[in-house]
């Protein structure tokens, strides 16, 4: 897709990955609708990428009021060519230690909200002969990892939803893709999570790398799942075919995971 002068909705725009995606899109001439909860950060990002023709919508997409605000703004803007569901949150800690409130909030933000936003904006996306939805998932949407129970559930769900919607819209001209970054260096990571990754030797990508991959999907849409990082992408395949091998590997990591997860809530 030639993204120049196309309307692109980007949720979670003021976070680390969101900002990097926004900068890439703006550099290629897209007209961005930046969405996030922090009005101050959105305003700064809007200024940093040059202001008009870009715009910003401060909204909490975790509730109906915020989603309605975004829908009304988009209805007034006109047809949407690309929706990037990037907004998300993370909690690291063992499942039994997490409050039900925290679990509900995470599932709402990571799974329910992007599903409902897709439904809200689908009519506008279908007005175009060539349009796209890109859902930002995670390697943990394919591999259940200790200390990330609710997060894994949300990203497994998002991957399944993306696959279903892609097949449902097959032949419509609306491509639906899922991109799964591995650990990424953003402010969502708590200090203990960063320390655990260091102890395990887990690589953390820069947000700009994820943004580059998103741009590849937009520029050459395939309507498919894309997994980032090595050896993470091969672990995804092994886990699908021979999960007992991954079970064994993660069991060896469990003492280190326990050491950091007990401080993760």
Q: Supply the residues annotated as catalytic.
A: 151
Cis ω on the peptide bond leading into residue 53 (within 30° of 0)? yes
In terms of C-beta density within 10 A (0-12 exposed, 13-18 middle, 19 or more buried), how is residue 93 classed? buried
Q: How many CB atoms lie under 10 A from the CB of residue 222?
A: 10
32 in Cβ contact with 54 (< 8 Å) = yes
Going across the sheet that includes 55-58, the strands are 55-58, 31-36, 7-11, 82-85, 131-136, 174-180, 225-227
Q: How far apart are the first and last CA of the chain?
A: 42
Q: How many CB atoms lie under 10 A from the CB of residue 155?
A: 26
The DSSP symbol for 66 reads H
Q: Tell which residue, 56, 83, 90, 48, has the closest CA to residue 185.
A: 90
């Amino acid at each position: 897709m030639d993204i120049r002068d196309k309307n692109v909705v980007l949720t979670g725009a003021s976070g680390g990955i969101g900002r990097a995606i926004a900068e890439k899109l703006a550099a290629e001439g897209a007209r961005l609708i930046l969405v996030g909860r922090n009005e101050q950060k959105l305003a700064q990002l809007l200024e940093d990428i040059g202001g008009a023709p870009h715009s910003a919508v401060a909204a909490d997409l975790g509730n109906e009021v915020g989603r309605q605000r975004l829908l009304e703004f988009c209805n007034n803007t006109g047809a949407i060519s690309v929706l990037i569901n990037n907004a998300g949150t993370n909690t690291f800690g063992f499942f039994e230690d997490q409050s039900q409130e925290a679990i509900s909030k995470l599932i709402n933000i990571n799974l329910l909200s992007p599903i409902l936003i897709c439904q809200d904006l689908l009519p506008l996306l279908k007005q175009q002969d060539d349009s796209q939805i890109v859902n930002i998932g995670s390697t943990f949407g394919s591999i259940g990892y200790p200390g990330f129970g609710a997060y894994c559930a949300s990203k497994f769900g998002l991957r399944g939803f993306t696959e279903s919607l892609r097949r449902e819209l097959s032949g419509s001209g609306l491509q639906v893709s899922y991109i799964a970054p591995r650990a990424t260096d953003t402010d969502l990571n708590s200090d203990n999570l960063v320390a655990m990754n260091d102890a395990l030797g887990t690589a953390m990508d820069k947000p700009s790398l994820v943004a580059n991959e998103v741009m590849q999907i937009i520029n050459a849409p395939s309507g498919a799942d894309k997994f980032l990082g090595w050896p993470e992408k091969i672990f995804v395949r092994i886990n699908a075919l021979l999960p007992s091998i991954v079970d064994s590997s993660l069991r060896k990591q469990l003492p280190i995971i326990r050491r950091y997860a007990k401080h993760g809530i």
